[in-house]
Structure 1
Amino acid sequence: MIEVVIRQAASLLLRYPGPGWAETLRLVRDTAGGLPDGRCASLLRFCSDVAAVPPLELEARYVTTFDRSPRRTLHMTYYTDGDTRRRGASMAGLKGEYRRRGWRPPDDQLPDFLPVMLEFAARCPEAGERLLAGHRPGLELLRLALRDHRSPYERVMEAVCGTLPGPSVRDRRAALELARTGPPAEAVGLEGYGAHARPVPLGGRP
């Protein structure tokens, strides 16, 4: 199922480009390049765009892209809950969903980190698609924000959004409202979320 391949590849490409990045690009190119239709074209273009970028420069770009603006965060509950008490409950719900499906995400990442959600969607396609579809406005807003930032990561988000059914009128309205007003604001951090209640960089690296 091509959606599984795209979501797993996107999960790898949206992580911090540290050691092993060249191998990640090779793996994605080899896998996506062998698929019969053009739905992986955006992923392959991203790989081509960043292949020649020096590692330290790409790492700096990643931080600038995802850590410096809440409108480009990879933590999806921020789009729905912002810095409110609801966010802790939403992340607890995500952990519960992963647990019910017999999957345990990495301990060093929050459960709403998009690469984690994408890996879950690759491992549990039906439940994962429902989860991603529930965050469609945030995914679309992230894609548009990356486009405005002129980031090659927009191509990865284009591929991710392309695995979901077309956005409904409600999704479009929600994305536009998020773009206009931003997420809810209530400066309480992540109270009630246990060990993860400390601030973390928005790019997903504790």
Structure 2
Amino acid sequence: MSPLPTTVPAIVRTRIRAATRRRAPLTPREAEDRALLLRLMSLLLQYPDAELVAARPVVAATVAALAPSPAATELAAFTAWFTAQEPDALERHYVETFDLRRKSSLYLTYYLHGDTRRRGMALLTLAQRYRAAGWDTDGGELPDHLPVALEFAALCGPGPGEAPLRQHRRGLELMHRALADMDSPYRHVLAALLSLLPPATEADLKAVAELAAQGPPGEDVGLDPYGSGEFAPPGTFVPPEQAPPTLMPPLSSPEGLR
């Protein structure tokens, strides 16, 4: 879409752009395909333990059978790498990528709120959203862990289910940039996810650039509003311990992922 003339009032330009981003309702088949994409992303962003490593042939076959789309292309690029690596190399890369780097943390509220009290409230709100939708997580991970949010999106659909992903789109954009900068194959999974979300606006891109330069907000005291854990002070962020993958049993066939 070509840029709108500056003579058009700002509110009109904003609403026209919003209208162009709206999609027609998904057909049942499209909704099923989208849910499968989200579930695959959730699975592939989990720690590559022995169970997930053993399931790689099934996961790769499921990805190969996806309907053609930008997301499917990105996931195929990732699984080509994922299936070729030795298990210990996969584990090392995962820890180095997601546990030791702040800009590629899998905890979404960290990007928006940093180590502040607001992050604790955001976690509570997200957990309440899950419960209100009738979804009770096992408590093994914080509710803002990206694989958890992706599973919720797969279960509840593009509207309310994907709302947390849309809310944290800027964090996802920063995560993708960080993964691309380090040339991590996980950049393909984030690219697949971003291809399903509304395009980034100019304001989004500006905010991402500022976040990349300055980092998220920080706060030194009063950081225990969620559970019994405490967030690290700025500059010493340590992600929570990695929970076991929440695989969808059985994984002995592609249907196990649906």
Query: Which TM-score band applies after superposition, normalised by the shorter structure?
Result: over 0.9
* CA RMSD after TM alignment: 1.9
Q: 2:171 maps to what in 1?
A: 138
> 45, 49, 58: which one pairs with 1:14?
45
Query: Which of residues 146, 158, 162 in structure 2 aligns to 1:129?
Result: 162
Aligned equivalent of 2:225: 192
Q: State the 1:119 CA deviation.
A: 0.4
How far off is 1:154 after superposition? 0.2
The equivalent of 1:29 in structure 2 is: 60
Residues 165 and 117 (structure 1), Cα distance of their counterparts in 2 relative to 1, 3 Å cut: same
Residue correspondence of structure 1 range 1-206 to structure 2 within 5 A? 1=31, 2-39=33-70, 40-125=72-157, 126-188=159-221, 190-197=223-230, 201-202=238-239, 205=242
**Structure 1 residue 96 displacement after superposition:** 0.4
Q: What's the TM-score once normalised by structure 2's chain length?
A: 0.75
Bigger CA radius of gyration = 2
- CA 1:203–1:160 in 2, change beyond 3 Å: closer, same or farther? farther
Residue type of the alignment partner of 2:184: S
Aligned residue pairs total 206
Q: TM-score, normalised on structure 1?
A: 0.93
Equivalents in 2 of 1:189, 1:142: separation in Å? 27
Structure 1 window deviating more from structure 2 (2-11 vs 192-201): it is 192-201
Distance 1:186 1:9 in 2: 35
Kindly provide the CA deviation profile for residues 9-34 of structure 1, in whole angstroms up to 9, marking residues without a partner as x: 01000010002123443333222221
Report SS of the residue matched to 1:183.
coil
- Structure with more helix by fraction: 1
Q: Would the aligned equivalents of 2:115 and 2:231 in 1 still touch at CA under 8 Å?
A: no
Are the counterparts in 1 of residues 60 and 83 from structure 2 also a CA contact under 8 Å? no
For the 8 Å contact 2:57–2:83, the answer to whether it is kept is no
Instruction: Using the aligned pairs only, state the percent identity.
Output: 39
Query: What are structure 1's unaligned runs of at least 5 residues?
Result: none
Deviations 1:114-172 (A, max 9, x none): 00000000001121222111100000000000000110000000001111111122221
Distance 1:203-1:172 versus aligned 2 partners, 3 A rule: farther
How far, CA to CA, are the matches of 2:55 and 2:211 in structure 1? Answer: 33
- 1:5 Cα deviation after fit: 1.6
From the superposition, tell whether residues 203 and 60 of structure 1 become closer, same or farther in structure 2 (CA, over 3 Å).
Answer: farther
Sort the Cα spacing of 1:82 and 1:112 in 2 relative to 1 into closer, same or farther, 3 A: same
